[in-house]
Chains A and B, each alone.
Chain A
Amino acid sequence: MQFLGNLLEVNNLTKIFPLGGLISKKSVTAVEDFDLAIPEDRQVIITLAGESGSGKSTIANLLLGFIKPTSGKILYRDKNLLKLKGMEWKKYRREVQAVFQDPYESLNPFYKMSHVLMGPIRKFKLAHSEGEAHKLASEALLEVDLNPEEVLDKYPHQLSGGERQRVMLARVFLTRPKILVADEPVSMLDVSLRADILKILQNLEEKHDMSCLYITHDLSNAFCISKEIIILYLGSVMEQGNFETVIKNSKHPYVKMLVSSIPIPNPRSRWKGKVKLQEVETARLETIVGCKFCNRCPEAMPICNEKRPPLLDLKENHKVACHLYA
């Protein structure tokens, strides 16, 4: 049964969190009007980038079905995520997996490492016997360069951070998802270990039919394996498109500021000029009608205060949400 549409399609996704008690009307718009499409017929690693407060982790939780959207739709194989039941829901669970930032947090300290691998094997019926299950788990561990005999029988605290994260990836090999939501998969690892994890992700994309939504604040790592990027700021998309284009030819003032601040390991490519830091905390006003970046923007115009900039099409999939390009 061929399905050649979008595996995952997100339309106008919005999530508003209420703050305070019953009486207070304050709220935080974590995500606003977010769109995304992951096709079935090819594999992509899309970077979802943003600093703290950008809403990227909220998007991850929404896509994984942990929280419900306030408005907008998430469609999996053309069906609304909220309405999936039975076999369709099981298929979604099987085909959409995740890797999180802190592998220690993702492990139940009461059990040995085998537990986290046996879980999906049992639930997704990947094996029909104890022996087969063990074989599958071992093969998955070998794919990530871990020795099953040294890992399966140990407790989480007996392994290093790098080993734990590899076990998380072994779990991905086991479940063979179509989409992997990777939320800061390398940020808690030593620099020298990151390359290995990135290689594994690339391998999964190239050889195992897996698309990946790589969520991070660290563009340098994502750039190694991803070709498309979406940059968020306070819940809204500021710019998106081909990674190299967005980096080398940034259009949005926020993106320009962000990209220019990313440290380059080369003393001959140092920061030029200086950034201006905020003197006082500006509250995240939910009553901002204009552009969310306008109070920090060096190129702000009057219209920026009044109207939200729509996401405009520049050439070749490059999009910007900025009045400068209207």
Chain B
Amino acid sequence: MTPPSQLRWARGSLTARLKGLKVVVKNRKILAGLCMILGITLVSEIGYRLLPYDPKKMGDVPLGLPPSWQHPLGTDPMGRDLLTQLLFGTTLSIRIGFMAGIVAFTIAVLVALIGGYYGGTLDSVLNVVTEVFITIPSLAILILVAALVGRVDIPMMSLILAVFGWAWPCKVMRAQILSLKERGFIRLAKLSGYHGTEIVIREIMPNMLPFLGAYFAVVVSAAMIAEAGLELIGLGPQYTITLGIMLNWAMVHAAFTRGLTNWWIPPVFVLIWIFLSLFIISMGLDEVGNPRLKVKG
């Protein structure tokens, strides 16, 4: 008889989750998506430091140069190297987007779990709050807040984005939890003596993995779009460079009409790359969450 060590078991909830993570990382799509996002993060983080130029300092380099060996993307009318701007801006955009995404996602998950699983008046209250946040024209409020606050810095930007990013995924997650709650294995877990929180972590969460991943991708992408959008119209941490702010500068200097494609296409491309990588990760998580696709049964 095979000794226990050779049989993989579902050990305590922590180990089950770690084992889950291992499976997650082995999936090809997740790997691909992760490589894409990590790749671009690394390239930009390292890249801008390697280049000798300062992305923010005006007059650092000659103005308005077209692409050349020294300046692969050229320079902008204020005398800043565009490639350095791109790389630096990417790191900041990613940082803001992910911070906003993580905060929003955490709020969404907590509210969805507490409301969805425990129900009752608490759920009704949370539900109303969620609906309010969904209905509020968030972009308008975002613009208002950003305009009122004046100087917006990076943490504030993330917070603002998070506050309006959590509500919709929360609603969808809650619906999912409500349906999972009725499943037979929840009843069996109760009969085995498990309590609410344990059931949520042990039984419900793993089944939400693909959805969680997808929602996270959505939340982060939404945050980055909102960020780019706000910055494009001039609201945001104006003192620094992000992808959106790059596009803002480009717009202000009529780069689109002047055909200065070396200026505006790269940041757009990077944004698309990021969205794509998150999307592929969520597709991979979908496969993981569904063991039927994993093992030929």
Bound pair (A, B): yes
Q: Could you tell me the distance in whole angstroms from the C-beta of A230 to the nearest C-beta in chain B? A: 23
The answer, among B12, B187, B209, for a CB contact under 8 Å with A98, is B187
Among B4, B8, B192, B289, which residue has its beta carbon within 8 angstroms of that of A123?
B192
Closest to A92 in B: B193
Within 8 A of A (CB), among B250-297: 289-292, 295, 297
Q: Is B184 an interface residue (CB 8 A)?
A: yes
Decide if A120 touches B192 in the complex (CB within 8 Å).
Answer: yes
Q: Which of A101-151 contact B (CB under 8 A)?
A: 102, 105-112, 114-116, 118-120, 122-124, 130-131, 134, 138, 149
Partner of A124, one of B8, B16, B192, B295: B192
Say if the beta carbon of B140 comes within 8 Å of chain A: no
User: Which residues of B sit under 8 angstroms from A155, Cβ to Cβ?
Assistant: 291, 295, 297
Min CB gap A301→B, angstroms:
43
Asked if B10 CB lies within 8 Å of chain A CBs, one says yes
Is B190 an interface residue, CB under 8 A from the partner?
yes
Asked if B184 and A100 sit within 8 Å, CB to CB, the answer is: yes
Chain A 48-70 interface 0/1 with B at a Cβ cutoff of 8 Å (1 = within)? 00000000000000001110000
| A106 pairs with B16, CB closer than 8 A | no
Interface membership of A215, Cβ < 8 A: no
- From B192, B194, B206, B207, residue with most partner A Cβ within 10 Å: B192
Known pairs A97-B191, A123-B193, A134-B4; A106 contacts B9 (CB<8 A): no
Q: Please classify how large the interface on chain B is, using the bins under 10, 10 to 19, 20 to 34, 35 or more.
A: 20 to 34
Asked if B292 and A157 sit within 8 Å, CB to CB, the answer is yes
Alpha-carbon separation in the docked complex, A302 to B160 (Å): 72
Q: Are B9 and A102 in contact (CB under 8 A)?
A: no
Contact status A157-B2, CB under 8 Å = no
A107 to B203, CA, bound (A): 10
Are A109 and B190 within 8 A (Cβ)?
A: no
Are A130 and B4 touching (Cβ within 8 A)?
yes
Complex contacts, A120 vs chain B, CB 8 Å: 191-193
Chain B 162-195 interface 0/1 with A at a Cβ cutoff of 8 Å (1 = within): 0000000000000000000001110111111110
Find out whether the CB atom of B207 lies under 8 angstroms from the CB atom of A109: yes
What sequence of 0s and 1s flags, for each residue 145-185 of chain A, a beta carbon within 8 Å of any chain B beta carbon? 00001001101011000000000000100010000000000
- With both beta carbons as reference points, the residue of chain B lying nearest to A138 in the complex is identified as B1
Interface residues of B in 1-60 (CB under 8 A from A): 1-2, 4, 7-12, 16, 20
Interface residue from A64, A90, A114, A149 paired with B9 (Cβ < 8 Å):
A114
Hey, which chain B residues are within 8 Å of A118, CB to CB?
Answer: 9-10
- Measured between C-beta atoms, what is the minimum distance from B204 to chain A in Å? 9
Q: A93 within 8 Å of B by Cβ? A: yes
On whether the beta carbons of A157 and B291 are closer than 8 Å, the reply is: yes
Partner of A119, one of B189, B207, B297: B189
A94 sits at the interface (CB 8 A)? yes
Q: Can you name 14 A-B pairs with beta carbons within 8 Å?
A: A66-B190, A90-B193, A98-B187, A102-B184, A107-B185, A109-B290, A110-B207, A114-B9, A119-B194, A120-B193, A130-B11, A134-B7, A155-B297, A175-B192
14 more A-B residue pairs beyond the given contacts A105-B184, A118-B10, A120-B192, with a C-beta to C-beta distance below 8 A: A93-B191, A100-B188, A102-B184, A107-B188, A108-B185, A110-B207, A110-B289, A114-B7, A120-B191, A122-B12, A124-B193, A130-B9, A134-B4, A157-B297
